[in-house]
Amino acid sequence: MGYATVSLTLVGERLNPEAVTAIMGLSPTSFHLAHDSSAIRKFGDRAGRLGQWHVSRNDLRVEEVESVVRELADAYVRSRSSLVGIERSQLSIGLMNCRSMGESFELSPGLIGLLANAGCALFIDAYGSEELGTPTG
């Protein structure tokens, strides 16, 4: 049985993580200010020069993906006009250990439209299982 992670990441040189947290009403999984020396060491010069605010929901059942995407998208759309310094937003879905076509989810056209209208990029990563069948030979 597969599992999923859904994340919302906001990035910008003038991004203020504390203000984002207060406006969004969500506790971030991680964040850093632009030009933070520890972020530059961890992520490199290009990524470290921008501030980042990230919230992640982990260990979800695949069938929970759409509702969590909706929760994070709604929070972003509701807060977007009050957020300052956001240069890029992305919602990521990571699918792990999915073994069959029976493990699928659907994002409604309305939800995809909501993300598109908010200028929020959607990334989907899918990872299979290391044990995809019985070895032959």
E-strand stretches of the chain: 3-12, 30-32, 51-61, 88-96, 120-127
Residue 16 CB neighbours (<10 A)? 18
pLDDT in tens, 41-80: 776 666 667 888 999 999 888 889 999 999 999 999 999 9
Question: Which residues neighbour 37 within 8 Å (Cβ) at sequence distance 6 or greater?
Answer: 48
Residue 63 amino acid letter = E
The reported pLDDT for the residue numbered 79 is 94
Query: How does the average pLDDT of the chain come out, rounded?
Result: 83
Residue 98 has pLDDT above 90, yes or no: no
Instruction: Kindly state the average pLDDT of the residues 99-126.
Output: 84
Percent of the chain with pLDDT over 70: 81
From 96, 84, 106, 114, select the one nearest 1 (Cα to Cα): 96
Most confident of 46-55, 95-104, 111-120: 111-120
